[in-house]
Amino acid sequence: MGSFHLPPFTSITALLYGIFVLSLLPEFAFCKTRHYTFNIKSKNVTRLCHTKSLLSVNGRFPGPRLVAREGDQVLVKVVNHVSSNVTIHWHGIRQLRSGWADGPAYVTQCPIQTNQTYTYNFTITGQRGTLLWHAHISWLRSTLYGPIIILPKRNDSYPFEKPYKEVPIMFGEWWNVDPEGVISQALQTGAAPNVSDAYTINGLPGPLYNCSSKDTYTLKVKPGKTYLLRLINAALNDELFFSIANHTVTIVEADAVYVKPFDTDVVLITPGQTTNVLLKTKPYFPNASFYMTARPYFTGLGTFDNSTVAGILQYENPSNQYHINKLPLFNATLPPLNATGFAANFSKKFRSLASAKFPANVPQTVGRQFFFTVGLGSSPCPNNMTCQGPNGTKFAASVNNISFALPTTALLQSYFSGQSNGVYTTDFPANPPFPFNYTGTPPNNTMVSNGTRAVVLPFNTSVELVLQDTTILGAESHPLHLHGFNFFVVGEGFGNYNPNTDPANFNLVDPIERNTVGIPSWWLGCLTLPSR
């Protein structure tokens, strides 16, 4: 039987009509596929008068921006040109039916080996704002990181004033030595890892460090304008205070979720968190420049980098009658390093926008409940070794007294192939195996167990999780990130969590929705979104 062919004009008309019909459907409206290629290469970089080779993407440090709109499909081809195994994690992207693209080595994928290529494929669903990407194997994320900028769908507007300009501000760290050597030594000796030599803003340490005045990030602004600053904390472990001298900012988004706007002089941002703020510049040329500074918030007993990174907010001179370098430079005021009161009050200010267009879909029923204690413990020193942790042991972070043992086979791969036996077990405890006064005198026995033990949940389960910080080897704030999904922070409080009285105070109306949270030196209650 012969084939039937439409005339050329009719074919084109039918094709255009089909495209028009598809464009009317919400899931197809103005969405596109974004293609990126990330070449992992070594690059010589000089900071603090030290030149070293570090890993970069496309020869850039920090790495390039990944820009897409809500609803877009993103394909990132990662080519590994270096001797280290590499993976890339798209921190905060909701990986709905795309778990293979999440990036943590030996969890959702095997690492990308030398001269190998892997293409990440995910779709941005129900998100708009700022996130970040970074390496997710060992400490490679110390230099392999960059911003993810998710714009609203075309013809959609921000639920706040349209900014004159948008600027990513990335906080990071700099080591004069190889960070891989730092973490390798710490794992071998059991001691806390050596701290970084400087913090950075967009890769630059700034003038408060020796030999760094020329390596200072300068944000040039015009009077009477509104700027959207996309703040990203890409530091490894340190929560940071950030402030701009003589200026107030308005927080409008956190972790790619719009929030009820509020003003602040200081922003506290946990590693992995993002915060979008509106900066309204002064209506006139101020005859001055202003420091933008950041330094850590720290409550533990160990060592940390207590230095301060500084950039400069510089107003464009309207008439060139002032020499910028001769203008006064005002310093920013930051809270004390251990300002727990400020941290608690600041975190409680975050509320989801919870509007008709951007609702807070808080689960009202819970399928599973978990109570996790989080903190430091110790593990025995291997025979014929000298360890530098507490009392000759090794430091070991733990949840419910279990320190995670990284497998040599990716967890998702072993599950998918039906060969998980010997890779992981499904008996992670829902509650602490050894209850004690978590915020009081620590127990004499600080030893933890090691294992690859998982929690397995049915599809679409809502989870209530209470995270209790502990005083074992010192109470300190810990960053926690849920890969591939968001959660609501419904409550927090000082002291020990009380399951009989504290849930009555949970906010189930407009709690902040996040993917990363700083578990404070008290307790925190979270509800996860169903995995639909």
Distance separating alpha carbons of residues 304 and 466, to the nearest angstrom? 27
328 and 188 within one domain: yes
Residue 505 lies in a domain: yes
> What's the predicted TM-score (pTM) here?
0.93
Confidence of residue 44 (pLDDT cuts 50, 70, 90): very high
Among the candidates 129, 151, 173, a domain finishes at 151
Residue 28 lies in a domain: no
Percent with pLDDT over 90 in the chain: 80
Residue 354 lies in a domain: no
211 and 291 within one domain: yes
Q: Average pLDDT, stretch 286-302?
A: 90
| pLDDT beyond 50 at 27 | no
What is the structure's pLDDT at 8? 40
381 and 304 within one domain: no
The answer to whether residues 233 and 278 touch, using CB atoms and an 8 Å cutoff, is: no
329 and 224 within one domain: yes
Distance separating alpha carbons of residues 131 and 255, to the nearest angstrom? 6
517 and 373 within one domain: yes
Confidence of residue 474 (pLDDT cuts 50, 70, 90): confident
Among the candidates 315, 348, 381, a domain finishes at 348
| Overall domain count for the chain | 3
Distance separating alpha carbons of residues 291 and 282, to the nearest angstrom? 15
Confidence of residue 530 (pLDDT cuts 50, 70, 90): low
- Among 3-17, 367-381, 388-402, 436-450, whose mean pLDDT is lowest? 3-17
Residues whose CB falls within 8 Å of the CB of residue 421, separated by 6 or more in sequence, listed in order: none
What is the structure's pLDDT at 522? 74
Distance separating alpha carbons of residues 81 and 37, to the nearest angstrom? 13
User: Listing from the earlier edge strand, what are the strands of the sheet with 274-280?
Assistant: 198-201, 165-174, 226-233, 274-280, 249-254, 257-264
Q: Average pLDDT, stretch 299-323?
A: 84
Average pLDDT, the chain: 91
Residue 327 lies in a domain: yes
What is the structure's pLDDT at 471? 82
Among the candidates 128, 151, 174, a domain finishes at 151
What 3-state class would DSSP assign to 249? strand
What 3-state class would DSSP assign to 99? helix
Instruction: Enter the DSSP assignment of 412.
Output: H
Residue 43 or residue 377, greater confidence: 43
At 161-201, the pLDDT tens digits run 999 999 999 999 999 999 999 999 999 999 989 999 999 99
Instruction: Enter the DSSP assignment of 300.
Output: S
Distance separating alpha carbons of residues 139 and 85, to the nearest angstrom? 12
- Among 57-71, 106-120, 148-162, 299-313, whose mean pLDDT is lowest? 299-313
Concatenated DSSP letters of 338-405: T-HHHHHHHHHT-BB---SSS-----SS-SEEEEEEEEEEEEPPPTT----SGGGSEEEEEETTEEEP
What is the structure's pLDDT at 13? 44
Nearest to 36 by CA among 92, 76, 66, 85: 76
Residue 68 lies in a domain: yes
- Among 144-148, 158-162, 497-501, 520-524, whose mean pLDDT is lowest? 520-524
The answer to whether residues 274 and 229 touch, using CB atoms and an 8 Å cutoff, is: no
Which range marks the domain in which residue 420 is found? 368-529
276 and 194 within one domain: yes
| pLDDT beyond 50 at 102 | yes
What is the structure's pLDDT at 322? 64
Distance separating alpha carbons of residues 243 and 292, to the nearest angstrom? 6
What is the structure's pLDDT at 529? 61
524 and 389 within one domain: yes
331 and 426 within one domain: no
What 3-state class would DSSP assign to 87? coil
Residue 14 lies in a domain: no
At 246-288, the pLDDT tens digits run 999 999 999 999 999 999 999 999 999 999 999 999 999 999 9
391 and 251 within one domain: no
| pLDDT beyond 90 at 317 | no
What is the structure's pLDDT at 24? 46
Q: Average pLDDT, stretch 489-501?
A: 93
Q: CATH number of the domain that 475 lies in? A: 2.60.40.420
What is the structure's pLDDT at 135? 98
226 and 140 within one domain: no
Q: Average pLDDT, stretch 496-524?
A: 91
- Here the tokens at position 416 are 């998918």
At 420-461, the pLDDT tens digits run 999 999 999 999 998 999 988 888 888 999 999 999 999 899
Instruction: Characterise 180 by phi-psi region: left (phi > 0), alpha (psi -120 to 50), beta (else).
Output: alpha
Residues whose CB falls within 8 Å of the CB of residue 2, separated by 6 or more in sequence, listed in order: none
Residue 522 lies in a domain: yes
The answer to whether residues 254 and 273 touch, using CB atoms and an 8 Å cutoff, is: yes
What 3-state class would DSSP assign to 95? coil
The answer to whether residues 79 and 39 touch, using CB atoms and an 8 Å cutoff, is: yes
Residue 207 lies in a domain: yes
391 and 341 within one domain: no
186 and 136 within one domain: no
Distance separating alpha carbons of residues 189 and 489, to the nearest angstrom? 36
